[in-house]
Amino acid sequence: MPLPAESISSTGAVPDLTIQRVRHPLRFRLLEVCRVDRLTPHLLRVTLQGDALDGFVSTGFDDHVKVFFPDPVTGELLAPALGDDGPIWPEGKRPVMRDYTPGQFDPVNLTLQIDFALHQPGGPATCWAEQAQVGQRLGIAGPKGSFMVPTGFNWHLLVGDDTGLPAIARRLAELPAGARAEVLMEVDSHADHIPLPSLADVNVVWVHREQHQSLLDALAQMRMPSGHFFSWIACESAQAKAMHAFLINECRANPKWVRASGYWRKGSMASYESFDR
Ligand SMILES: Cc1cc2nc3c(=O)[nH]c(=O)nc-3n(C[C@H](O)[C@H](O)[C@H](O)COP(=O)(O)OP(=O)(O)OC[C@H]3O[C@@H](n4cnc5c(N)ncnc54)[C@H](O)[C@@H]3O)c2cc1C
């Protein structure tokens, strides 16, 4: 299919829209909490620090790190050895692990921000975040790899709930001037809005659970701009699946350019599901 006229830059060059996968060496890092900030009633930013962050690399906005939590009773934090087949745990015991998006990394001060969505009733990760204090320790591993999504699409569709918010904020921060993004963000209420700085031309529609609004309804009501677009979705598993199907079946979106992930599943403990691979 030929690219529409608006995909072609003023120099006549057609942008390369190939998505690349980059791999990174896997390392386990033991870090210390150096700052805790409550951003909204349901979003907590934890800043981690440590020499172990030397060499940390995260090049994709939707990268994830595995976060390892201490035992809530003993406070013990197990560290794995890394073998050829992945992590090896002392005496076969495993700590609680959950996936989180690495936020801003400062390579000079060796700090890394992670934003925790606080849900009720919380699982172990949320309970840890609720009590997080400076000086406590956390482990992280990864990211193992990054998807490098080109920015040269005519426009970008970014859809998520509180758990997708950190990756969406990262994407908006990296989109260049001249890019266009339509964002659907599900949060509890107006009190959970945060600024989403970007050089791009961004339109954010906030969807409020408090008012029983849903991401799928907001997507169905959206006026789609013309041209090639990349869709990125991360939220509750059934919702992500439904929106993936809607984009492919109703909007004729190019399946190559739809990435939809279940970042959590209603009623069950963490597992990562992706509906585009
Ligand atoms: C690739 C990836 C990146 C992610 N990045 C982030 C991130 O940056 N920030 C972030 O906050 N989360 C992120 N998540 C989601 C996070 O890993 C899950 O929400 C995780 O389940 C939280 O762990 P928990 O121990 O609190 O709850 P769990 O023990 O996993 O689950 C306990 C109960 O809580 C429910 N539950 C889990 N999450 C939610 C939720 N958000 N809202 C309502 N109910 C929920 C479950 O259905 C279950 O019934 C990411 C997930 C993936 C796969």
Residue 11 has what pLDDT? 55
pLDDT in tens for each of the 277 residues of the chain? 333 333 444 455 668 899 999 999 989 999 999 999 999 999 999 999 999 999 999 999 999 999 999 998 898 998 888 776 777 877 777 889 999 999 999 999 999 999 999 999 999 999 999 999 999 999 999 999 999 999 999 999 999 999 999 999 999 999 999 999 999 999 999 999 999 999 999 999 999 999 999 999 999 999 999 999 999 999 999 999 999 999 999 999 999 999 999 999 999 888 655 665 4
Residue 273 has what pLDDT? 59
At 189, list the tokens: 């209420």
Q: Which atom of ligand 1 is nearest to the CA of 100?
A: 5
Tell whether pTM > 0.75. yes
Question: Which residue stretches of the chain are H helix?
Answer: 124-131, 165-174, 215-221, 237-249
The Å distance, Cα 81 to ligand 1 centre, comes to 26
Per-position b or e across 222-239, b if 16+ CB within 10 A of its CB: eeeeeebbbbbbbbbbeb
3-class SS string, 9-74: CCCCCCCCCCCEEEECCCCEEEEEEEEEEEEECCEEEEEEECHHHCCCCCCCCCCCEEEEECCCCC
The Å distance, Cα 261 to ligand 1 centre, comes to 12
At 99, list the tokens: 């996936």
The Å distance, Cα 118 to ligand 1 centre, comes to 9
Which of 128, 163, 171 to probe ligand 1 with, by most ligand atoms within 8 A of CB? 163
In the chain, what are the domains? 22-145 (2.40.30.10), 149-274 (3.40.50.80)
At 28, list the tokens: 């386990």
Which of 104, 119, 277 to probe ligand 1 with, by most ligand atoms within 8 A of CB? 119
Residue 10 has what pLDDT? 47
Q: Which atom of ligand 1 is nearest to the CA of 271?
A: 53
Q: How far apart are CA 137 and CA 34, in angstroms?
A: 10
Residue 270 has what pLDDT? 82
Going across the sheet that includes 180-187, the strands are 201-208, 180-187, 155-160, 229-236, 258-264, 273-274
